[in-house]
Amino acid sequence: MSDKKENTPMVNTGEYFTSGNLAVAEGSLAAGCKFFGGYPITPSSEVAEHMSIKLPQTNGHFVQFEDEIASIASILGASWGGWKSMTATSGPGYSLMLENIGLGIMTETPCIIVNVQRGGPSTGLPTLVGQQDIQQARWGSHGDYEIIALSPNSVQECFDLAITAFNLAEEYRVPVTILMDETIGHMSEKLIIPEEDKIKIVNRKKPTDEADGHLPYKAGEDLIPPMAVAGEGYNVMTTGLTHDERGYPALEADAQKVLLTRLLDKIRKNKDKIIMLEEYMLDDAEVAIVVLSSAAGTAKAAVDKLRAEGKKVGVLRPRLFRPFPHKEIAEALQDVKAVCVLDRADSMNDFGGPLFSETRSALYDLEKTPKVFGRIFGLGGRDFKVPDAEDVFTELFKVLKTGKIEKLNGYITI
């Protein structure tokens, strides 16, 4: 396979009517993914199925493993072999992958994990939508780390963010999770795959120094070490233990400080370049909904309806959950007077959902802090419909009028 190391993209330019699962697979192929290691799990299996058809046609490689632990381990290995690699899974499978995601962070291995979320905990609701895995995406693996977790809200964005995910993984040498959900995964919409030369592709930085004396974990000012591929002549030495620039285990507190600071800072100091948000009708909005993923489309439809009635409403949709856009959210909502944060996940702290907690904290230091409350919607895989979003806006206007939040947190649609 002569082009094995080239990560040649497979761009199927054209217009399609297809599902999010197929779109994320097509986006990955277009980004140059050559290796898929996976294990069947509803509602993500179509991603694997599509890759099992496409990869063998492009000198790529598809392997179905005996479980999710092997699947994620294989994509780390494939990445060290020079390939862009990915897996796709859902709730229980993601749980099994968490240890190796931590290994990917520690060894700075670019790879992609698509998580088509279903309802949990445990086996939960395999065929129904959920978004509780965002908890795991932010702190599922053990130890301190920064990671990137993207959140698409349409079939087109599944394709687009797959490319972004590969680019970010390659640039920052970090595993990137794409937090889809069952609704987007199985929903069919229009997908436009652009021409190959319109797609921006980032490939990992390679070492240019002499092979002799090369230090695999020595980073420059950008904090990201160039990545040699096993077999190219450079010393490849990688370990899950705390290590020094040589890649050798170094179990002193100082070594931990140096390594950990760099692993955190390479993401934190580049947040401006990584963070993406969609602001919808926020410019003059008095009240706004903050929401991730598939439900954002519904909220935007409610905004269209209410705007036609002259009401100043808007939606803020972070297009990623990690790193969290604290500063950007505060900027976007600084002139809004009342905000409702919608989560499709409860939390473990009895204080609202994960997006609510982080958003409220982000707004705390604003000069004129808006009134913020949270609502947890769609548990049990229930639909979130336009009238549900309208009800949220009605509540927001009530808060605006009275200046009081009667209930800080609560459930809706159940």
Partner 1 sequence: MATLKQLAEKEELFTGGHRLCAGCGIPQIIRLILRSVGENCSVVGTTATGCLEVGTSIYPYSSWRIPWIHSAFENASATMTGIEAAYNALKRKGKIAKDKEIKFLAMGGDGGTYDIGFQALSGALERGQDFVYLCYDNGAYMNTGIQRSSATPFGSATTTSPAGSAIPGKTQWRKDLTRIVAAHNIPYAAQASAHNWKDLQRKAERAFAVKGPAFLNVVSPCPLGWYSKPELSMETAKLAVETCYWPIYEIDEGVLKVNYKPKEKKPIEEWLKLQGRFKHLFKEENKGLLKEFQDRIDLEWARLLDLDGKHI
Select 66 or 210, whichever has its Cβ closest to partner 1. Answer: 66
Verify binding: residue 141, partner 1, rule CB under 8 A. no
Verify binding: residue 49, partner 1, rule CB under 8 A. yes
Give the whole-angstrom CA distance, residue 127 versus residue 382.
Answer: 12
Binding-site member from 22, 23, 24, 41 for partner 1 (CB under 8 A): 41
Q: Diameter of the chain by CA atoms? A: 71
Prior bond of 226 cis (ω within 30°): no
Give the whole-angstrom CA distance, residue 76 versus residue 14.
Answer: 32
Of 34-42, 177-185, 199-207, 319-327, the segment contacting partner 1 by CB under 8 A is 34-42
**150-171 as b/e: b if 16+ CB within 10 A:** bbbbbbbbbbbbbbbbbbbbbb
Binding-site member from 21, 45, 131, 359 for partner 1 (CB under 8 A): 45
Verify binding: residue 12, partner 1, rule CB under 8 A. no
Lookup: tokens for 333: 């909502």
Select 52 or 369, whichever has its Cβ closest to partner 1. Answer: 52
Binding-site member from 123, 188, 334, 394 for partner 1 (CB under 8 A): 123
- Positions in 189-208 near partner 1 (CB under 8 A): none
Verify binding: residue 117, partner 1, rule CB under 8 A. no
- Positions in 58-87 near partner 1 (CB under 8 A): 62, 64, 66-68
Q: What are the E-state strand segments in 60-108?
A: 61-64, 84-89
- Say whether 91 sits in a helix, a strand or coil: helix
Verify binding: residue 40, partner 1, rule CB under 8 A. yes
Lookup: tokens for 233: 């002549």
Select 49 or 108, whichever has its Cβ closest to partner 1. Answer: 49
Report the nearest approach of partner 1 to the CB of residue 60 (Å).
10
* Neighbouring-strand partners of residue 63: 37
Q: Output the DSSP codes for 98-153.
A: HHHHHHHHHTT--EEEEEEEEE-STT-EEEEE--TTHHHHHH-SSSS---EEE---
Pairing of strands 320-322, 111-119: unpaired
Report the nearest approach of partner 1 to the CB of residue 290 (Å).
34
Binding-site member from 53, 192, 211, 408 for partner 1 (CB under 8 A): 53
Judged on CB neighbours under 10 Å (0-12, 13-18, 19+), 372 is buried
Verify binding: residue 414, partner 1, rule CB under 8 A. no
Verify binding: residue 92, partner 1, rule CB under 8 A. yes
Report the nearest approach of partner 1 to the CB of residue 331 (Å).
43
Residue ranges that bind partner 1, judged by CB under 8 A: 39-42, 45-46, 48-49, 52-53, 56-57, 62, 64, 66-68, 92, 96, 122-123
